[in-house]
Copies of this chain bind each other. A is one copy, B any other.
């Protein structure tokens, strides 16, 4: 099994991503710190997150506030801060982070335990509800923050806290008699421990991660026994999901379909892939491939959203992709990016990077308002604001991003995703460097130093300059969306082999070498597999990796009455002043008359008259930045 590492020495300087990331450090990170300290405006639900730590540390009195997993928000924020400090040093921010870490450390118990919910509400109850009380989830996010902060700053304070907590966990959970033979209801600690292992080299950390993965779903079911022992409620008793809500109804190697809560699924599969890679476990890698194929070939939206149903924020079944009642949580799309990167590390194949790119440029960044201050939890592909307001069956779908959430998982997840974008652009191993994302900046990998210049995703040209000599296979991903491309080396047609979705140049590189990848990037209509009921007879519009949508702001109301015309009519236009700078598309279309029926509801009439119209499309990720209105990705053909 190839063991491919992601490239850590990456510098991003890219016209597309710079804007998002500057918003992040300028607005998102400070805004979310205010949120975690309950200093947002009065109409915003207070987080209580930092307050819980101060209470747990004995510095303040009061009751625990927020969800049982509230601690995770500060950890995700700290992880994001850590990543941002790598490319945007900020002493003041680092000082705030250090202070937060001190507060966290102060709350840690002498035995290493650290979860403010139980510290405040009574330690006697801890470890009695792994299924729903998120102690291991909180631990996982602490570990991820600790590793990131240590790597970014060299400071060990949080890392030491995390290692002590892991030692405590290792004393409580494991295969040995007298320990709980359990695992987390909400995965994340698996991949976190694998990152910790990379830093510590402590086999215990690898062992514990593998235990959580391998023990999951084994008979007798731990969660079932735990419920009996502790008298916990089984919320999914009457759901078709039951323990598969937690991906814990069967051993992971027997799980063939992506099932249950979509974020949990993505996090678990990511951890499974990490363990498979590190331990060379082919049966586990096989399970990862099965679950990947289920999730991405039969259960993923064209935007990279996953989780078709609001019930359980979960996967439903193959080809079930309702556009207006979808869940498509921002965190789940982020989780899909995590999973994709790890699949690339198991085997660099263009397919994985295609999905990663699809999620990143669409269903991930749609989660954040362009000003970085409002967020989507749910990312629908079709919205009629009146329905969100008046049909509570669609209550989870919001026509505008929200300031904050009681359950604020998505905003800090966006921070840590976008702030660590570096880690997703390339993987290396066996003398090959695979470029997966085309993002401007610099990459240093095993002696090969590259500079990347591009206006991707708006233009299909990528120029790669080699900064020094090296012998190395350079694998440039040819995206799945790309039908026509040319590759040149120093101005001449390059000698490249196509392997698993990559154009590979194998040569002795010299300083000054220039590789030009030119990808033809026309707007094209996408169709869904005919088994997708909701998209039958409809098309989506895509250009490069960017999926487009129609908004009421551009096309008026009643988007359901619009029909997409000949793709040959498509025109792309770079509009620097629109939505932070986007390529908009226009196409010929038809607008069916909405009027003329008066009070008649049903009649034996012909199809409504349709008048030619020019449709104006914007990138899906940028929808709902111009007020509340209808939006639609899949349009009648």
* Residues of A in contact with B (beta carbons under 8 Å apart): 239-240, 293, 296-298, 300, 302, 308-312, 316-317, 320, 325, 384, 386-387, 389-393, 395, 481, 483, 524-533, 536-537, 540, 542, 558, 560-561, 563, 592-594, 597, 599-608, 636-637
Assess the B390–A317 pair: CB atoms within 8 A.
yes
- Residues of chain B within 8 A of A386, CB atoms compared: 317, 320
Given A316-B390, A391-B309, residue A297 in contact with residue B533 (CB < 8 A): no
> How would you classify the secondary structure of chain A's contact residues: helix, strand, loop or mixed?
loop
A214 to chain B, nearest CB (A): 28
Please state if B309 and A392 are interface contacts (CB–CB under 8 Å).
Answer: yes
Say yes or no: A524 contacts B604, CB within 8 Å.
yes
What separation, in Å, do the CA atoms of A601 and B530 have in the docked complex? 9
Q: Are B311 and A601 in contact (CB under 8 A)?
A: no
Q: Which residues of B contact A311 (CB under 8 A)?
A: 391-393, 395
Q: Tell me the smallest distance from the CB of A352 to a CB of chain B, in Å.
A: 14
The answer to whether A387 and B320 touch across the interface, beta carbons within 8 angstroms, is yes
Least CB distance, A563 to chain B, in whole angstroms: 8
Distance in angstroms between the alpha carbons of A495 and B384 in the assembled complex = 52
A390's partner among B293, B297, B320, B558 (CB-CB below 8 A) is: B320
Contacts of A531 in B (CB 8 A): 558, 594, 597
Q: Which residues of chain B are near A390, meaning CB under 8 Å? A: 240, 316-317, 320
B592-A530 in contact (CB<8A): yes
For A391, list chain B residues within 8 Å (CB).
308-309, 311, 316-317, 320
Instruction: Please give me the 10 A-B residue pairs with the lowest Cβ-Cβ distance, nearest first.
Output: A311-B392, A533-B560, A316-B391, A524-B604, A317-B390, A529-B597, A536-B560, A297-B599, A309-B391, A530-B608
Roughly how many angstroms separate A430 CA and B384 CA in the complex, as a whole number? 49
- B384 contacts A533, CB within 8 Å? yes
A310 to B530, Cβ gap below 8 A?
Answer: no
**B602 touching A529 by the CB < 8 A rule?**
yes
Judging by beta carbons under 8 Å apart, are B600 and A297 in contact? yes
Give the CA-CA distance A302 to B600 in the complex, in Å. 12
Q: Which residues of B sit under 8 angstroms from A320, Cβ to Cβ?
A: 386-387, 390-391
Q: A317-B386, A527-B603 are in contact. List 5 more A-B contacts (CB 8 A).
A: A311-B392, A526-B602, A526-B603, A527-B607, A530-B592
**Complex partner residue of A309 from B317, B393, B608, B636, CB under 8 angstroms:** B393
Q: Chain B residues with Cβ under 8 A from A316's Cβ? A: 387, 390-391
* Nearest CB in chain B: distance from A399 CB, A: 14
CA distance A312 to B594 in the complex (A): 29
CB distance from A361 to the nearest CB of B (A): 14
Please measure, in the bound complex, the distance between the C-alpha atom of A126 and the C-alpha atom of B317, giving whole angstroms. Answer: 48
A-B contacts, 26 listed (Cβ < 8 Å): A296-B601, A297-B601, A298-B601, A311-B392, A312-B392, A316-B390, A316-B391, A317-B387, A317-B391, A320-B390, A524-B604, A525-B604, A526-B602, A526-B603, A527-B602, A527-B603, A527-B604, A527-B606, A527-B607, A528-B601, A529-B603, A530-B558, A530-B594, A530-B597, A536-B561, A542-B604
